[in-house]
Each structure stands twice: as C-alpha cells, then as structure tokens.
Amino acid sequence: MPLSFDDEHASIYTVGQVADILGLQPAFLRRLDVESVVQPARSEGGQRRYSRAEIATVQKVWDLVGEGLTLAGVRRVLLLEAEVANLKRQLAAYESAGDTTGGQVAPAPPPRPDGRASQRRDLKIE
C-alpha cells in the first residue's frame, strides 16, 4: 500500500512548510490562493495543505512573477498550459483510436489580402 507522501497529489504540506521549502513568505502563498492562482486543499480545521504538485506550481508561479508577469498573467499562462496538455491528450486518444485522415491535416488557408489571419470555420476541437 503506497503511503500518502509517495503520492505527488497528496495534500500534506502546510503553508509554513512550503514557505520554508521554497524560501518564500507565507503571505505570498496565501495571496496565490486568494487570487485563484494556486488553491490548495484544506484540512478539516480549514488550514491550507499543499501537494508536491502544487509546490512545483508555486515554484513555477514564483519564477514567472520574477520575469515580470502579474498574478492575473500567471493564472492565464497556467490555464493555457493546462488547455494545451488537455488538447495533447485528446489528440493522442484520437490517434490511438485510429486516425481516419491518414495522418493528413488540411493546409492552413492563405493569408487574407488585408494581412489578417483567415478564420478557419471547418475545424472543431472538442
């Protein structure tokens, strides 16, 4: 039987522990929760509990903030990265189910005369 600390998604670390691990102020971690950037689980007593995966995300957030992104910008980057990962999973599932296009993808339409990108209306992503 695996122990909870073997699971990277087990919420076992407190704010103070995460702050010590990453060398950050606890207030920064609380701010990430309030701003809906990283929202850890809560214990029965209402204390924040972080998983190793969330600690890695906090580290990534700190790095992005250090590069000049706002928390709103970081939140958007994280959402877009999750969306890309989801689309990659969908594509892999589609390909493993049998690619009916023979690996061919329709070419992108030529640019419009006004220089703006053409809008493809024939593509659907579910």
User: What is the share, in percent, of the chain residues with pLDDT greater than 90?
Assistant: 66
How do residues 8-33 score in pLDDT, each as one tens digit?
A: 999 999 999 999 999 999 999 999 99
Q: What is the pTM of this model?
A: 0.70
Residue 58: partners with Cβ closer than 8 Å, 6 or more residues away: 18, 22, 24, 29, 32, 38, 50
Tell me which residue of 44, 37, 35, 36 sits closest to 11, measured CA to CA: 44
How do residues 33-91 score in pLDDT, each as one tens digit?
A: 999 999 999 999 999 999 999 999 999 999 999 999 999 999 999 999 999 999 999 99
Distance CA 92, CA 59 (A): 29
How do residues 81-110 score in pLDDT, each as one tens digit?
A: 999 999 999 999 988 887 666 556 666 666
Domains present along the chain, CATH in parentheses: 4-96 (1.10.1660.10)
